[in-house]
Amino acid sequence: MADKGSPMNNLNSRDDVLRRVQTADSVFLPREVFEALYLNPERNVPNDLRKRLGNPTPAALIGFVMASTPYACANMGWRGAGGLGGALIPVMIFFGGILQIVGAMMEWVLGNTFSMCLFFTYGTFWLVAGTQLVPWFGVGIHYSATGDSLAGMAEPAYYATFGFYYLTLAMITTVFMICSLRTNIVFFSALFTLIFAFACAAGAFWNLALGNVQAGENLTVAAGAFTFALTMMIWYLLIVQLLESVDFPITLPVGDLSQKIRGKKERLAMKGGVNVAEPEQLRE
């Protein structure tokens, strides 16, 4: 039994204790911190899922950098690496593909549409990159007279066709880059760099289709260099998010853009002469 002077005498029940502990552990996220953590403009979500579930964005970023970093090194041929990253097939499928897909599903649950689209897109990209190198999928069968998938993947028609896939990836990444102007400078710069990586990859395949082997190899190295540069930025974002997740005393800058480019609803409200307050801060 508690003494008369004990603070427990001021509490009505054990539930009061739990409520106070919960309140003490709650953390309010300013808009710029939210956008650095979720890579998504802050939106009011009509539920408390963000208070009960963890942030899936760092896990999805881990999947991206774990696949992209060694793949970039392979494209640049560092220490004899190469072979289209064939040794990385499991890494592409499980880290680059499945982990990002799971992250995208969790972003969808939390209502983060932009980051959901990003991780679904690039998670699927890595699934394609990994499975196309597995003979069982037979992606080159239709380009080979003998039905050998790997032989078909060395045919000019295969190279020419696959080049359009990378061109399309550059196009969707351009759309993502424009949308990222509402997030932060680091993320915008990463997507800007990724556009050049995909464009170089498309050029490499088209040159190989024309028999310009040296030009194709040079563009492959360039694509690897751009990919490596963007992975460094994603590594930085990952470190920022992990430090925030443990309430680290140091906050690394990401170059918040949310106050530079205001949202449509906020602009309309300002034109109407309505004072727009900052969106309600979310608890984590």
Alpha helix (H) ranges present in the chain? 14-25, 31-38, 49-52, 57-76, 89-90, 100-110, 113-131, 149-152, 156-179, 185-209, 213-245, 264-271
Question: How far is residue 39 CA from its own chain's centroid?
Answer: 8
DSSP 184: B
Top-confidence residue, 54 or 233: 233
Give mean pLDDT, residues 252-271: 80
- 168-225 residue pLDDT tens: 999 999 999 999 999 999 999 999 999 999 999 999 999 999 999 999 999 999 999 9
* pTM of the full structure: 0.78
pLDDT tier for residue 37 given thresholds of 50, 70 and 90: low
The end-to-end CA distance of the chain, in Å, is 35
Give mean pLDDT, residues 88-103: 96
Give mean pLDDT, residues 146-170: 93
Res 11 pLDDT > 70 = no
The mean of the pLDDT values for the chain is 83
Rounded-to-integer distance, Cα 34 and Cα 36, Å: 5
Dihedral sign computed on CA atoms, order 27, 30, 35, 40: positive
Res 102 pLDDT > 90 = yes
- 113-153 residue pLDDT tens: 999 999 999 999 999 999 998 888 888 898 988 888 888 99
| Two tokens, residue 156 | 């000019």
Of 174, 180, 172, residue with least CA distance to 255:
180
